[in-house]
Amino acid sequence: MPSQKKGLNAILQAGLLAGSLDIITACVQYYVVTGKNPLKVLNFIASGLLGKEALGKGVYVNEWWLPVTGLLLHFVIAFSFTVFFYWVYPLIRAVAKNRTITGLLYGIFVWCVMNLAVLPLVMGAKFPSDWWKAAQSMLILMVMIGLPISFIIGKYYDRK
């Protein structure tokens, strides 16, 4: 089994890469689709912790720390999914031989957890009714979260 220090390094690399790719993609997509300030994406994430006031309609209007809170919360979530994958990888190693398929499936898992559990519980969100938007967001998580985590953590476990 590889060393714990190298394991922590793999988790840091995978979490930072996946979290960065995901939030950059979300902000760019939001700007392209709406033409609005992409910091609103980070405010939305912060609103999961701080409530709807973080969306700019209440006491938190134009607070500089609001998008920072959203960004930190986003990375906590990204690292949570990274640590979970790191923990479960030895249990699925036999089926994880193809990192691409494993990463794409893990992205679908992440989408399901976020859209069927986290967002409904925290934000009161309903199941996405627009299938095109749901497919886009699933594809983003498959490529930007699932693949980097699968490749980096898989490479870590391959080193013995």
The pLDDT assigned to 66 comes to 87
**Least trusted range by pLDDT, from 8-12, 25-29, 56-60, 107-111:** 56-60
Residue 54 pLDDT > 70, yes or no?
Answer: no
- Band of pLDDT at residue 94, cut at 50, 70 and 90: confident
Q: Is the pTM of this model over 0.75?
A: yes
DSSP states along the chain: ---HHHHHHHHHHHHHHHHHHHHHHHHHHHHHHH-S-THHHHHHHHHHHH-GGGGTTSTTTT-THHHHHHHHHHHHHHHHHHHHHHHHHHHHTTTTTSHHHHHHHHHHHHHHHIIIIIHHHHH-PPPP--HHHHHHHHHHHIIIIIHHHHHHHHHHHH--
Please tell me the distance from the alpha carbon of residue 108 to that of residue 124, in angstroms, as a whole number: 21
Residue 140 pLDDT > 90, yes or no?
Answer: yes
Residue 56 pLDDT > 80, yes or no?
Answer: no
Give me the mean pLDDT over the 97-109 stretch: 95
